[in-house]
């Protein structure tokens, strides 16, 4: 992408989109087109087409999506499949119609079949059903990948698809009810520390293994792919290493400085037993991650304290600060 290219980052306020914007600015790209949801509703086909016709975009990084953890997917599956189908269809189609040079679409490692052979190779997509807990989201995103590939074959549209591992970092969503594993744990351990709670309970057995990638590494990979990859095949983006969720929780507990107990609710689902991706296709293009897990968690918690942590409550007169509720 040339430095004077007109680049639209869809979802620029989200976790991945904000990291992509940071990296573009660092690289000297100045003609960035950014629109919040209040300015451009990506589920509105007419509005999206008018936007592309008007703005004369050269490149698109499609990071806009409705995302959430297991609980959010269970409760709002209809919203997840509807909104993601609308967003990606509107943007991909309008970008092609407007003559965009290249588009990057982001999938997710959760799109792979639940029991696919590990590490997950790109060829495993659609060889089995997705994990039931995120089925609506997965089906929508798989449709987006298929749309990119079909537009490439029929119209010659240069759309590429990246499959990120579990992402975390500055700009994440720290709602303990609807967030992913890392931000959800950071928020719960932080709140427990502030409240003096004796323990924190996490879902499931703690044995599922997950691969995590710091979001600034993901942004770096996205720009690398825009410059160095033009294939139809999807391409995995990850660290190439995974960790048990229980170990992740203990690491986050240490980063936060929470000294209470860690317990488990075995009645809650684990989700995928393991999600480690084969990243050899990406590594062959010359890209490598730079930020290790503990360093990334430390950076993320520092950002949380600065930007997202709730204010420390003042104790009521006569109460003891930090006393645990019965």
DSSP codes of every residue in 59-115: EEEE-------HHHHHH-HHHHHHHHHHHHHHHHHHHHHTT-SEEEEE--GGGSBTT
User: Is position 210 annotated in a ligand binding site?
Assistant: yes
| Position 320 pLDDT exceeds 70 | no
- Any catalytic annotation for residue 151? no
Listed residue (168, 280, 173, 221) closest to 61, CA to CA: 221
Looking at residue 310, its pLDDT comes to 73
Q: What percent of the chain has pLDDT over 90?
A: 80
Looking at residue 273, its pLDDT comes to 80
- For residues 80 and 95, give the distance between their C-alpha atoms in angstroms, rounded to a whole number: 22
Looking at residue 178, its pLDDT comes to 62
- For residues 126 and 81, give the distance between their C-alpha atoms in angstroms, rounded to a whole number: 17
| Position 323 pLDDT exceeds 60 | no
pTM: 0.89
User: Is position 303 annotated in a ligand binding site?
Assistant: no
Looking at residue 163, its pLDDT comes to 97
Looking at residue 71, its pLDDT comes to 74
CB 57 within 8 A of CB 7: yes
User: Is position 178 annotated in a ligand binding site?
Assistant: no
| Position 231 pLDDT exceeds 90 | yes
3-state secondary structure of 310: coil
Give the mean pLDDT of the chain: 91
| Position 314 pLDDT exceeds 50 | no
The residue among 207 and 315 whose pLDDT is bigger is 207
Among 14-23, 71-80, 138-147, 250-259, whose mean pLDDT is lowest? Answer: 71-80
Name the strand (E) or helix (H) holding 200.
strand 199-203
Read off the pLDDT band of 207 (50, 70, 90): very high
User: Is position 318 annotated in a ligand binding site?
Assistant: no
Cα–Cα distances (Å) from 202 to 26, 75, 247, in that order, read 38, 19, 12
Taking the CB of residue 56, how many other CB atoms lie within 10 A of it? 11
Q: What percent of the chain has pLDDT over 70?
A: 94
User: Is position 77 annotated in a ligand binding site?
Assistant: no
CA 272 vs. chain centroid, Å, equals 16
| Position 313 pLDDT exceeds 70 | no
| Position 105 pLDDT exceeds 90 | yes
Q: Residues 6 or more apart from 117 whose CB is under 8 A from it?
A: 124
| Position 219 pLDDT exceeds 70 | yes
Q: Residues 6 or more apart from 68 whose CB is under 8 A from it?
A: 76, 80, 137, 173, 178, 179, 180
CB 104 within 8 A of CB 225: yes
User: What is the average pLDDT across 191-212?
Assistant: 93
Main-chain phi, psi angles of 164, to 5 degrees: -75, 150
Looking at residue 22, its pLDDT comes to 96
- For residues 36 and 204, give the distance between their C-alpha atoms in angstroms, rounded to a whole number: 36
| 46-98: pLDDT as tens digits | 999 999 999 999 999 999 998 877 777 788 899 999 999 999 999 999 999 99
Looking at residue 177, its pLDDT comes to 67
- For residues 187 and 304, give the distance between their C-alpha atoms in angstroms, rounded to a whole number: 8
Looking at residue 260, its pLDDT comes to 96
| 251-278: pLDDT as tens digits | 999 999 999 999 999 988 887 788 899 9
3-state secondary structure of 141: helix
Q: 137, 151, 168, 258: which one is catalytic? A: 137
User: Is position 108 annotated in a ligand binding site?
Assistant: yes
Looking at residue 311, its pLDDT comes to 63
Among 184-198, 209-223, 271-285, whose mean pLDDT is lowest? Answer: 271-285
Burial of 99 (0-12, 13-18, 19+ CB in 10 A): exposed
CB 64 within 8 A of CB 106: no
Provide the token pair at 312.
């420390």
Among 178-192, 233-247, 283-297, whose mean pLDDT is lowest? Answer: 178-192
- For residues 44 and 291, give the distance between their C-alpha atoms in angstroms, rounded to a whole number: 37
Listed residue (59, 61, 39) closest to 50, CA to CA: 39
Give the chain's domains with CATH numbers. 7-307 (3.40.50.720)
| Position 317 pLDDT exceeds 50 | no
- Bridge partner residues of 261 (DSSP): 199
| Position 324 pLDDT exceeds 70 | no
């Amino acid at each position: 992408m040339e430095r004077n290219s007109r680049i639209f980052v869809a979802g620029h306020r989200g976790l991945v989109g904000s990291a992509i914007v940071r990296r573009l600015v660092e690289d000297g790209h100045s003609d960035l087109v950014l629109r919040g949801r209040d300015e451009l509703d990506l589920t509105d086909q007419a509005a999206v087409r008018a936007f592309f016709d008007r703005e004369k975009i050269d490149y698109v990084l499609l990071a806009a999506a409705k995302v959430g953890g297991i609980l959010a997917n269970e409760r709002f599956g209809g919203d997840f499949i509807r909104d993601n189908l609308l967003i990606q269809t509107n943007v991909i189609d309008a970008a092609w119609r407007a003559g965009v040079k290249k588009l990057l679409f982001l999938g997710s490692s959760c799109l792979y079949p639940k029991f696919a052979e590990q590490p997950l190779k790109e060829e495993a997509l659609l060889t089995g059903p997705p994990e039931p807990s995120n089925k609506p989201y997965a089906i929508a995103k798989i449709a987006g990948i298929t749309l990119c590939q079909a537009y490439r074959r029929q119209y010659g549209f240069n759309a590429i698809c990246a499959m990120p591992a579990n992402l975390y970092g500055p700009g994440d969503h720290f709602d303990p009810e609807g967030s992913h594993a890392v931000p959800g744990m950071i928020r719960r351990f932080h709140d427990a520390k502030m409240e003096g709670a004796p323990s924190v309970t996490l879902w499931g057995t703690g044995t599922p293994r997950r691969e995590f990638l710091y979001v600034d590494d993901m942004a770096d990979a996205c720009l690398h792919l825009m410059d160095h990859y033009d294939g139809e095949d999807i391409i995995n983006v990850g660290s190439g290493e995974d960790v048990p969720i229980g170990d992740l929780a203990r690491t986050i507990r240490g980063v936060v400085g929470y000294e209470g107990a860690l317990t488990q609710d075995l009645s809650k689902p684990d989700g995928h037993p393991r999600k480690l991706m084969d990243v050899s296709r990406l590594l062959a293009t010359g890209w490598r991650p730079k930020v290790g897990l503990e360093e990334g968690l430390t950076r993320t918690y520092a950002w949380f304290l600065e930007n997202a942590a709730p204010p420390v409550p003042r104790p009521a007169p006569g109460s003891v600060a930090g006393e645990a509720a019965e």
